């Protein structure tokens, strides 16, 4: 009669040497496996289907503009106040608002020259 029991106390564990362990780097990386299994192609097909569904829901609106035509643009923002001041004697107080950074720089230069 053959016994299928393992005598755990009599087992001897022999450590492996470095040359028995194998390659110190993976033979195949996970990106290669991902592509080999076809998962990347599946993801690309799903992305294309999603993009097609979005494009179907929101079709592009054709715009017939002649490049020679001028577009009317109103840059005025109602919540912004107009900035008016004397250019010969600009205010140099903390909190003063200027129309733009170039306008502010010009004011600072003018103030430095005049004072």
Tens digit of pLDDT at every position of the chain (115 positions) = 677 788 888 888 888 887 777 666 667 788 888 898 999 999 999 999 999 888 888 877 766 666 666 667 777 666 666 667 677 777 778 877 777 788 888 888 887 887 6
Q: Which domain holds residue 105?
A: 82-115
Query: Is 64 a domain residue?
Result: no
Q: What is the pTM of this model?
A: 0.32
CB 40 within 8 A of CB 34: yes
From CA 105, how far away is CA 108, in angstroms rounded? 5
pLDDT at 49: 94
Query: Is 3 a domain residue?
Result: no
For the chain, the domain total comes to: 2
Task: Express the helix, strand and coil content of the chain in percent, nearest 5 each.
Answer: 40, 0, 60
What is the DSSP secondary-structure string of 4-50?
----GGG----PPPHHHH--SS-SS-HHHHHHHTTHHHHHHHHHHHH
């Amino acid at each position: 009669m053959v016994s299928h029991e393992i005598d755990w106390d009599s087992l001897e564990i022999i450590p492996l040497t470095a040359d028995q362990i194998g390659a110190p780097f993976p033979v195949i990386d996970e990106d290669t496996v991902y592509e080999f299994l076809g998962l990347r192609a599946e993801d690309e097909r799903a992305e294309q289907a999603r993009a097609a569904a979005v494009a179907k829901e929101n079709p592009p609106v054709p715009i017939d503009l002649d490049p020679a035509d001028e577009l009317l643009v109103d840059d005025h923002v109602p919540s912004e106040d107009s900035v008016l001041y004397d250019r010969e004697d600009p205010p140099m107080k903390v909190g003063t608002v200027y129309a733009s950074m170039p306008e502010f720089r010009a004011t600072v230069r003018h103030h430095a020259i005049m004072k």
